Amino acid sequence: MKSGFVVRSTISSWESAERFCRQFSLPLLDMQAKHNQEVFQLIFDHQNVHLLDCRAKKPLTLMVDFVTGSRDHRRKFGGGAGQAVAKAVGVKGNRTLHVLDATAGLGGDAFVLACLGSRVTMIERSPVAYALLADGLKRGLLQAEEAGDDELLAILQRMTLVPNDGSDWMRDQLASSDSEQPDVVYLDPMFPEKSKKALAKKEMQIFQEVVGGDEDADKLFEPAFALAKYRVVVKRPKIAPLLNGQEPSVQLVGKSSRFDVYAKKKLPE
């Protein structure tokens, strides 16, 4: 079950916050305004957009950062095409793929694929996830340009974000006569955890509390398989049931998660 949140903004970021709230039909409060003490606040300020969990004495903050921290480390030392997500998607050598990530979340796997040369279209329906991811991309592009980091700049330029429901967007593409067919459709729906202990990080705990689980995830499979040119890849917790009850062509199983691969035809060399 999703928890409520409020959107707050400083004066310096009011215009972008107001534009976001209009897009998703959400109310906007300034930093001094009284509210109903919602646990979570989506904050727009001059530095970034972040999600604030106000329950602890020291509030926990969640934001998307492609420039420093764990994602920067994974970009530089993550194992390249040997990573499980890369193997499942089919990243290999100089093969350039267009991957549709229909459940983008915070963009972690999309970033890995873009680092390996794929062009990634990300679809995200949650207003909170979209705001965090859009801000992370915007800041990343600016910081990469300012630092003269051409490699990171090229990676982030291969990532495109669209605010929409993944299933609806794919069905619209199927109905369109001039839409581009992605090589691979990647699905990583939020699986409802039975306990917080099952979640590895506190940041992901608060993210799931706000975004909620994708209880309707099964509806993603049919349009994904119809739209993908070569394969559909579904990331699931290791013990989770098959998406829509569909048996995969092959499974790549790790310690806590697995990738179910649904092949349509062989990827080009």
Question: What CATH number should be reported for the domain holding residue 231?
Answer: 3.40.50.150
pLDDT at 90 over 60: yes
Name the domain count of the chain.
Answer: 2
CA distances from 85 to 45, 188, 206, 237, 252 (A): 34, 11, 24, 13, 9
Structure tokens at 212: 């909620």
Measure the CA–CA gap between 11 and 30, rounded to whole angstroms.
8
138 and 255 assigned to the same domain: yes
Residues 103, 9 within the same domain = no
Q: Does residue 268 form part of some domain?
A: no
Task: Look at residues 62, 91, 109 and tell me which one is the last residue of a structural domain.
Answer: 62
Residues 40, 73 within the same domain: no
Binding positions for S-adenosyl-L-methionine are: 124-125, 188
DSSP string of 165-230? Answer: -HHHHHHHHHH-SSPPPPSEEEE-PPPPPSSGGGSS-HHHHHHHHHH---TTGGGGHHHHHHH-SS
Question: Residue 97 falls within a domain, yes or no?
Answer: yes
Rounded Cα–Cα distance for residues 199 and 188 (Å)? 15
Residues 109 and 179 in one domain: yes
Asked if residue 201 and residue 107 are part of one domain, the reply reads yes
Does 58 fall in a domain? yes
Domain boundary (19, 41, 62) is at 62
CATH number of domain containing 28: 3.40.1630
pTM for the structure as a whole:
0.92
d(CA 155, CA 171): 28
Residue 69 — pLDDT band, cuts 50, 70, 90?
confident
Domain region containing 57:
5-62
pLDDT tens by residue, 214-237: 889 999 999 999 999 999 999 999
Evaluate if residue 198 carries a pLDDT over 60.
Answer: no
Report the range of poorest mean pLDDT among 32-46, 68-82, 126-140, 176-190.
Answer: 32-46
Instruction: Specify whether 127 is located in the same domain as 207.
Output: yes
- With a CB cutoff of 8 Å and minimum separation 6, the contacts of 262 are 225, 231, 232, 233, 234, 246, 248, 249
Q: Which parts are annotated binding residues?
A: 124-125, 188
What is the SS3 assignment for 149-182?
A: CHHHHHHHHCEEEEECCHHHHHHHHHHCCCCCCC
Yes or no: say if 111 and 71 are a contact pair by the CB < 8 Å rule: yes
Average pLDDT over the chain reads 91
Instruction: State the pLDDT at residue 205.
Output: 79
Which residues are paired to 61 by β-bridges?
Answer: 52
Predicted pLDDT at 199: 47
